[in-house]
Amino acid sequence: MNYRVLLYYNYTTIENPETFAKEHKAFCRDLDLKGRILVASEGINGTLSGTIEATNQYMAAMLADERFKDTYFKMDESEGHAFKKLFVRPREELVALNLEEDVDPKQITGKYLEPKAFREALVSEDTVVIDARNDYEYDLGHFRGAIRPEIRNFRELPTWIRDNKEQFMDKKIVTYCTGGIRCEKFSGWLLREGFEDVAQLHGGITAYGKDETTRGEFWDGKMYVFDERISVEINQVDKKVIGKEWFDGTPCERYINCSNPECNRQMLVSEENEVKYLGACSIECARYPQNRYVKKHQINATEWAQHLTELENQLVQ
């Protein structure tokens, strides 16, 4: 394990995000770092992979900068780069909540709960724990008992909360997300919306999984990550698999994208069913002319047609 994956954010003022992004990209490239960094006038959000030495140099440089001196870096060991490329991009905002009026976490945000206090909140009767991520992230893994908002995208969260207000009105609310950045805004928004007791998991699930006292306890499944690893383990105490296989519903944690490039649906599929369905989510997608699985495995037209006929016959029975 000579490599490391860094995950961090900092809500801080960055003047001229465009210029900053350009210079920062050159700096990262010199260190041979790969990954994705978003830069906005409200701050920075990044996930990077590189050698231990390069990531150390990167963190030292960031912490020496007045604007980023209190950045909290979450780290994972890795066998190589977790990204293929490097992107450093200026953006209007770091996370989009789709609000009429934006929330500035430097002005208003929920109380920070450290992992141990968060674990207590998880089992407390007067507290509701809300997962602030997308539905497909929740489905692969989440905290036991956490609420799963019915949303496909983080932007839909405010509307969903307003529609389901009565569920949480008299309770303490605790929110969590991957690394903490989404909760900074979301918990601030909840306070502004009139919820009185709002807290957030400091450092997100990533920090909770690494914490010596909690060791990921009460986390079920795996955690979805936005890099080539797709998912990582969190619970070192009493792990349960909760992901369900796309076709047969058996326990599964293996993510693939549908082999029809037009569909590209992300789904949990066993190796066996990947072969059976030619890497597709449905027979329609398995039949699609530009099917990537067929191309990759050099299946010729006759074999392909035969496979589809057999599959159709099986499904009819």
Name the site residues for Zn ion (rule: CB under 5 A): 258, 260, 263, 265, 281, 285
Asked whether the beta carbons of 205 and 180 are under 8 A apart, the reply is no
Distance CA 72, CA 6 (A): 10
Cβ proximity to Zn ion: between 26 and 275 the closer is: 275
SS3 63: helix
d(CA 306, CA 311): 9
Q: How far is the CB of 307 from Zn ion (least distance, A)?
A: 16
Q: Pick between residue 49 and residue 260 the one whose CB is nearest to Zn ion.
A: 260
Query: Which regions of 111-230 does DSSP assign to beta strands (E)?
Result: 111-113, 127-131, 141-143, 172-176, 198-201, 219-221, 223-224
CB of 131 to Zn ion, least distance (A): 26
Task: State which residue, 157 or 286, has the beta carbon closest to Zn ion.
Answer: 286
Q: Report whether 51 contacts 32 (CB < 8 A).
A: yes
Rounded to 5 degrees, φ, ψ at 40 are -140, 170
> Residue 287 CB, nearest distance to Zn ion (Å)?
10
When the beta carbons of 194 and 249 are compared against Zn ion, the nearer one is: 249
Spatial separation of the C-alpha atoms in residues 2 and 240, rounded to whole Å:
29
- For residue 262, give the amino acid letter: E
Return all residues near 255 (Cβ < 8 A) that are at least 6 apart. 140, 230, 231, 266, 267, 268, 269
Decide if 183 is catalytic: no
Cβ closest to Zn ion, residue 113 vs residue 285: 285
Residue 82: closest CA among 33, 24, 133: 33
Q: How far is the CB of 282 from Zn ion (least distance, A)?
A: 6
Task: Write down the least CB distance from residue 283 to Zn ion, Å.
Answer: 10
State the catalytic residues: 177
